Amino acid sequence: MSRRADLPSSLLIPSSSTSSSRSSSPPSPGGASWAQDPYAPRQPGLPLYTARKNSHTASSHHKRDDDLLHRDAHDDNDDDDDMVELVDSSTARRRAGQSTASYVDGGAEQDPLLNGGAGAEAGEGKEGKELWPASGIGMEGRIPETRKEWLAKGGSDSASRRHRQPVTWRAVGREVLSDLKAQIPLLVYTVLALFTRLYRIGAANSVVWDEAHFGKFGAYYLNRTFYFDVHPPLGKMLVGLAGAISGFNGSFDYPSGAVYPDHVPFRAMRIMLALPGVAMVPLAWGTAVELRMTKWGRHIVTLMVLTDLAWIVISRFVLLDSLLLFFTFTTVYCLAAFNNQQRRPFEEDWWVWLTLTGISIGCVCSVKWVGMFVTALVGIYTVEDLWNKFGDLRMSYRTYVRHWVARILCLMVIPFCVYALTFKLHFLVLNRSGPGDSQMSSLFQAHLHGNDFARNPLEPAYGSRLTLKNMGYGGGLLHSHVQTYPVGSQQQQVTCYHYKDENNEWVVTPTWEAAPIDVDNGEIVYLRHNDVVRLVHHSTGRNLHSHSIAAPVSKLNHEVSCYGNATVGDSNDYWTVEVVDDFLRGARHKFDRIHSLSTRLRFRHQNSGCYLRAANAVLPQWGFKQVEVSCDKSNNPRDEHTYWNIESHWNDRLPAGNQKLYRSPFFRDFWHLNVAMMTSNNALVPDADKEDTIASKPFDWPFLFNGMRMNGWQDFGIKYYLVGNPITWWMGSASLVVWAFTLLWHLMRFQRKINDFAPGEWNHFLYVSKIAFGGWAFHYLPFLVMGRVTYLHHYLPTLWFSVLMSGVLLDHFIFRSHRLTPRTKKVVFGLVAGAVVGTWWFFRACAWGIEGPAKDMVGRKWRKSWNLYD
């Protein structure tokens, strides 16, 4: 006879709802919470619980406490699961009319099923394991498992000392072997993951695809050279760390397609960055376990992660994607593990998994902003969890507030601290001037080694040559070039440019009517608030100019151009210098002279009263995609896009500045860089004038309409083709559609009072479905509305959730079905697993490298749109 959960008889009572027949009273369709695992016990102290029967031996006692009550995730006989209702010990004793002592003496005999079968001794469980009653003395609703715990909580040992049986070495050996046996699949999958990710990893000895970017960024960390990129710094710092461990000296610039020189340890770097891709496989197994999938469901999900070609090939190079995927997997795993601790709030394991979830969120967002999508999944889960707790009238206000504080601390404060810490390390390591300087504020650049801003003269004067930096987030340097506007005045263009260039230099000059100033030998006249000046472009000699002609992009503003020369001009060349304040000296009334770097200025056009402004409007191709500069007619004194500061300053007659006078607050630099990243990321839009052969549309991804060539496609070289395992991708996408119809079908049947689920199954189905579908929707749908250029690899984090949905539906229809025989389930598992593994083997060359002509891959072009070969 099968035994139920190893619990004292005073804690377990039979229930009519536990029979194998289906209940005629359906559960509430809206009653399932993201934070509820119906196969787990509810919170301690609540009167009614649900537990699953387990057919395991005594080795299960060494698992976490929650496994005592919901063993079905580790039970191979899911089809025969029975249900019992668990009540707290005091209620059970009142119903049975027993005291604790009477239970110890003989209560177990009243229900021999509960303690190992007929004739079992009181206080004894399966395999001689001692079970002790819950007295309520300091137990906080937990169920004691051992005599040691019972005695530690104040229980009495005298009543049943005579019933104890000694623990034998044989029993201990069986427990150890059982624990080791449970870890065998995890170890096997990890070894297979090492093989699929590392085999022939150094076959291509040239720079492949985006190694040209991220390898170079890693080299910048080794050289401590400041650079700019649209992604947060954690992933690239780890690339740099891999290079440092491998012995790379940072002297290679990673030209696209170039052959690696002998001194670049590219194989070692690739191996280290492939390890996060390896870890995805055991994380997939662990996540399936935490989501309470069946044994077969766990194997299917893990096999899909192990054999997906896109995940394999993206993990084999010096890229950020393996890190992004790794932290996405850890976030989902930690969330599922935390959910399984919900019945023991504020205990050690509960805090550990909540904290690890927050750390994973911080890490995934610090690799790429795509991590915000899995953060949204955790956020929605948390909101629903707290909403359900708000409706729990048995929870005190103090406890509810503690739940809020815990979530704010672990899921908001900790992720932000991790994210900010990566930028702090980024700024500390990259302390030398480099190609990304101009994206940062002038004060920040002044502290970079090799930058001479701080040694430039402090106070500008008439005749000074200088550059003007726009202080709006993501702002660039005031710039002009000989090209003219094709519209409007057709005068010389004025733009904002983010890189150092001699066309960024301007000379401060008096107005046409003002007395001439001898800037070489005469008295030095310093620049002050409300001075009216001309700004002369140093390279072309033309004057900064504006007039009542609409700007080319911002039609409500006036056009800004360069006009005239040293002798030709008019009053539209005049600009009034207005001081806003100074970062270091404070409000305007506290100082007289303007300082470079720290004084914030506005330039008001003398005739029209508009203000010189550079925002996020980008000129078309005729303006080289540079930022538009216009004259804003609306006087908004808080608009930082009308603020400017003097960055570079040259004047041989003035003394050099002092670097100690400048300081740049971290959070100002942190915010400035993040806005610049966002601005540049939004500027990555498809170019209608160019054909991008590797770009793709989000609608093409779910059913794998496109593949992507990752390097040159010559016949003599090794070629890599980014394409997924077709069975995994198509099955995952189809499962999302099937799930939607399945959900609708069951909701309609609930309306008719028809329940197709055993107790707890509906809640569990909704819980795992929300994780899978919610994660997929959050990761996929935003790409449909993005204006930026997109590629196939953007779908790879989304794929994880469609794989989970495949496992959910296979469990629902096949592996948890009470209508199918175990043999049928094994046949279905074999067919699915065989299709997944067989397809991977058939296409394995796409991930491990295609040698010889691509036309030799005949038969593998399963879609006409794949450009695997011509």
pLDDT per residue as tens digits for the range 603-620: 999 999 999 999 878 899
The helix/strand count (H/E) of the chain reads as 20, 18
Contact predicate 568/526, CB 8 Å: no
Q: What is the pLDDT of residue 170?
A: 80
Q: What is the pLDDT of residue 680?
A: 85
Q: What is the pLDDT of residue 155?
A: 55
SS3 content of the chain, % helix, strand, coil (to 5): 45, 15, 40
**Coil, strand or helix: which one is 208?**
coil
Structure-derived torsion over alpha carbons of residues 710, 713, 714, 715, reported in degrees to the nearest 10: 110
Tokens 């072309």 correspond to 540
Whether residue 30 is predicted with pLDDT greater than 60 in this model: the reply is: no
Q: Rounded mean pLDDT of the chain?
A: 83
| pLDDT band at residue 68 under the 50/70/90 scheme | very low
The amino acid present at 134, given as its one-letter code, is A
Q: What is the pLDDT of residue 27?
A: 52
Q: What is the pLDDT of residue 831?
A: 98
d(CA 632, CA 546): 11
Q: What is the pLDDT of residue 179?
A: 82
| pLDDT band at residue 690 under the 50/70/90 scheme | low
Which of 303, 306, 299, 363 is closest to 331 using CA atoms?
A: 363
Whether residue 210 is predicted with pLDDT greater than 50 in this model: the reply is: yes
Residues in the chain: 870
| pLDDT band at residue 154 under the 50/70/90 scheme | low
Whether residue 107 is predicted with pLDDT greater than 50 in this model: the reply is: no
> What is the chain's Cα-based Rg?
34
**Coil, strand or helix: which one is 12?**
strand
Q: Is 173 exposed, middle or buried (0-12, 13-18, 19+ CB in 10 A)?
A: exposed
- Sequence-separated (6 or more) residues with CB below 8 Å from residue 14: 84, 85
809-818: burial string, b at 16+ Cβ within 10 Å, e else: bbbbebbbee
706 Rama class: left (phi>0) / alpha (psi -120 to 50) / beta: beta
DSSP E strands: which ranges in 512-556? Answer: 532-537, 543-550
Which of 124, 142, 161, 141 is closest to 9 using CA atoms?
A: 124
Q: How far is CA 783 from CA 682, 703, 786, in A?
A: 12, 16, 5
Domain annotation for the chain: domains and CATH numbers: 9-163 (no CATH), 211-423+700-857 (no CATH), 455-652 (2.80.10.50)
The lowest-confidence range among 24-38, 78-92, 202-216 is 78-92
Maximum CA extent, the chain: 115
| Average pLDDT of the residues in 682-686 | 79
The amino acid present at 162, given as its one-letter code, is R
d(CA 178, CA 336): 24
Whether residue 304 is predicted with pLDDT greater than 90 in this model: the reply is: yes
Q: How many C-beta atoms surround the C-beta of residue 230 within 10 A?
A: 16
Q: Is 862 exposed, middle or buried (0-12, 13-18, 19+ CB in 10 A)?
A: middle
Question: 772-806: per-residue pLDDT in tens?
Answer: 999 999 999 999 998 889 999 999 999 999 999 99
Top pLDDT among 155 and 264 is at 264
Q: What is the pLDDT of residue 818?
A: 87
Q: Could you tell me the strand order of the sheet in which 49-52 lies?
A: 12-13, 83-86, 49-52
Chain centroid to CA 825: how far? 36
DSSP 225: B
Question: 755-772: per-residue pLDDT in tens?
Answer: 888 878 888 999 999 999
The lowest-confidence range among 156-170, 638-652, 742-756 is 156-170
Q: How many C-beta atoms surround the C-beta of residue 636 within 10 A?
A: 11
Question: 243-264: per-residue pLDDT in tens?
Answer: 999 999 999 999 999 999 999 9
Tokens 């496109």 correspond to 706
- By percentage, how much of the chain surpasses pLDDT 70? 80
d(CA 38, CA 764): 5
| pLDDT band at residue 857 under the 50/70/90 scheme | confident
| Average pLDDT of the residues in 193-208 | 96
Whether residue 450 is predicted with pLDDT greater than 90 in this model: the reply is: no
Whether residue 835 is predicted with pLDDT greater than 50 in this model: the reply is: yes
Tell me the whole-structure pTM to 2 decimals. 0.80
Contact predicate 357/339, CB 8 Å: no
Question: 504-539: per-residue pLDDT in tens?
Answer: 999 999 999 988 888 888 899 999 999 999 999 999
| pLDDT band at residue 151 under the 50/70/90 scheme | low
Q: What is the pLDDT of residue 152?
A: 56
The lowest-confidence range among 1-10, 259-268, 384-393, 829-838 is 1-10
Top pLDDT among 82 and 37 is at 37
The lowest-confidence range among 5-9, 252-256, 300-304, 451-455 is 5-9
- By percentage, how much of the chain surpasses pLDDT 90? 62
Q: Is 562 exposed, middle or buried (0-12, 13-18, 19+ CB in 10 A)?
A: buried
Helix axes 726-751, 295-307, angle to 10 degrees: 140
Q: What is the pLDDT of residue 104?
A: 32
| Average pLDDT of the residues in 89-115 | 34
CA count, 13 A, side-chain hemisphere, 211 = 29
Q: What is the pLDDT of residue 21?
A: 37
Which of 654, 637, 540, 549 is closest to 596 using CA atoms?
A: 654
Q: What is the pLDDT of residue 100?
A: 35
| pLDDT band at residue 340 under the 50/70/90 scheme | very high
d(CA 434, CA 220): 9
Q: What is the pLDDT of residue 164?
A: 54
**Which pairing describes strands 721-722 and 708-709: parallel, antiparallel, or unpaired?**
antiparallel
